[in-house]
Amino acid sequence: MVRRCQNPWHPPLWCLSDSPMPRPIHATIHTGALRHNLQRLRAAAPGARLWAIVKANAYGHGIERAFDGLRGADGFALLDLAEAERVRTLGWRGPILLLEGVFEPRDLELCSRLNLWHTIHREAQIDWLAAHKTQQPQRVFLKLNSGMNRLGFAPERYRSAYARLAALPQVDEIAHMTHFSDADSGKGIAAQWAAFQRATDGLPGERSLCNSAATLRHAQDEAVRGDWVRPGIAAYGSAPDSPEHDAAHWGLRPAMTLAARLLAVNQLSVGDSVGYGSTFVAEAPMRVGVVACGYADGYPRHAPTGTPVLVHGVRTRTVGRVSMDMLAVDLAPLPQAQPGSLATLWGVAEGGAVLPIDEVAQAAGTIGYELMCALAPRVPVSVAE
């Protein structure tokens, strides 16, 4: 029997079961924000085609949950063959690119079956292709190591790799790709871009260079923009060059909200402490709220006292150490707060107030990427417009 859920906290999707009430923590994926962010990225790289990057389960948002907001992209780029299968299962017939290419020869079978485009970054991948039996030639992105020294052919090996690929009957079109290490900072892209120009000069094929930071900061230049941009983080509403610029500067909206309710409110006297290690001690009488969110939900344990948080959409701060299932917040600006009040750990609060994930990340000594990807499986997630 299907029971109507009495819990106003969880939207109807979660309420059509007899399962017990979950903890009062919840993440929301904002489809409209994903669409909006893609438009911003298209405006930053006019005329270029756009890969939606959905590696790491769409940066923690969930491929299936993010799909509707991202389907306006020209293709989906990812790492994992299982993720590629999931995108095809969602009905996507357009391009899918494996950003690290295949990991072993038999992966090429799946590339043929699912019509996946794949990156070629080392000689062995060319050997495997040469031995692969297929009726349907495959599209590949040849990757240049232009200075980041992660994946890709060294500049002096690039043209011979291209020539080998171009001679294979298994290969259809060959595009050129590189990845910038410093697009988000003052060092910039000039040296790597020049290396890419030299290595690819005169070779036919499409070009793809720009991650989010390069798309927002450098893709006004047509030669940098290329034919395909590859913005990941910005599509999810986090600024790739935080803290120099925030998401609002780039006109990006958060695609993920993490919110939880207060489980308890404690009145502290001068000298009372909060949490493990008693790292926070009240210097004046104060009220402290205990939020149903901890590091086992993906909130960073290293977030120190003072990390921003919203309660009822009003900005306040965390106090004391984050524990596995709970964290504490200063309720000084919130006399009306009580058990059940809603705390927004990042994203959009009721009333529309925004707490950028980048601010929480910076306080915790990390980046928005890591927080998104770390959203724990135990947190219920729903999709909203």
Ligand X SMILES: *Cc1c(COP(=O)(O)O)cnc(C)c1O
Rounded Cα gap, residues 316 and 314, in angstroms: 6
User: Three-class SS of residue 81?
Assistant: helix
Rounded Cα gap, residues 39 and 54, in angstroms: 17
- Sequence-ordered alpha helix ranges (H) in the chain: 31-44, 55-59, 63-70, 81-89, 107-114, 123-131, 155-166, 190-200, 212-218, 222-225, 357-363, 368-373
Q: Angle at the Cα of 262 (from 257 to 265), degrees rounded to 5?
A: 150
Rounded Cα gap, residues 237 and 356, in angstroms: 8
Q: Which is nearer to ligand X, 24 or 60 (CB)?
A: 60
Q: Which is nearer to ligand X, 99 or 258 (CB)?
A: 99
Q: Which is nearer to ligand X, 210 or 326 (CB)?
A: 210
Question: Closest separation between CB of residue 210 and ligand X, Å?
Answer: 8
Supply the residues annotated as catalytic. 55, 276
Q: Which is nearer to ligand X, 10 or 122 (CB)?
A: 122
Half-sphere exposure of 287 (CA within 13 A, CB side): 16
Q: Which is nearer to ligand X, 272 or 370 (CB)?
A: 370
**Contact call for residues 41 and 50 (beta carbons, < 8 A):** yes
One-letter amino acid of 303: A
- Strand pairing class (381-384; 25-30): parallel
Question: Closest separation between CB of residue 151 and ligand X, Å?
Answer: 8
Q: Which is nearer to ligand X, 53 or 349 (CB)?
A: 53
Question: Closest separation between CB of residue 240 and ligand X, Å?
Answer: 5
Q: Which is nearer to ligand X, 24 or 240 (CB)?
A: 240
- Structure tokens of 28? 């929301």
* DSSP codes of every residue in 45-66: STT-EEEEE-HHHHHTT-HHHH
- Structure tokens of 155? 């500049």
* DSSP codes of every residue in 277-342: GG-EE-SS-EEEEEES--GGGT--TTPPTT-EEEETTEEEEEES---SS-EEEE-TT-TT--TT-E
Rounded Cα gap, residues 230 and 50, in angstroms: 6
- Structure tokens of 316? 């306040």
Question: Closest separation between CB of residue 369 and ligand X, Å?
Answer: 7
CB atoms within 10 A of CB 47: 8
Question: Closest separation between CB of residue 230 and ligand X, Å?
Answer: 4
Using CB positions, name the residue nearest to ligand X. 232
Question: Closest separation between CB of residue 147 and ligand X, Å?
Answer: 14
Question: Closest separation between CB of residue 189 and ligand X, Å?
Answer: 13
Question: Closest separation between CB of residue 105 and ligand X, Å?
Answer: 22
Q: Angle at the Cα of 254 (from 66 to 213), degrees rounded to 5?
A: 90
Q: Which is nearer to ligand X, 232 or 237 (CB)?
A: 232
Residues within the interface to ligand X (CB under 6 A): 53, 55, 99, 179, 211-212, 230-233, 240
Backbone CA torsion sign across 272, 275, 281, 282:
negative
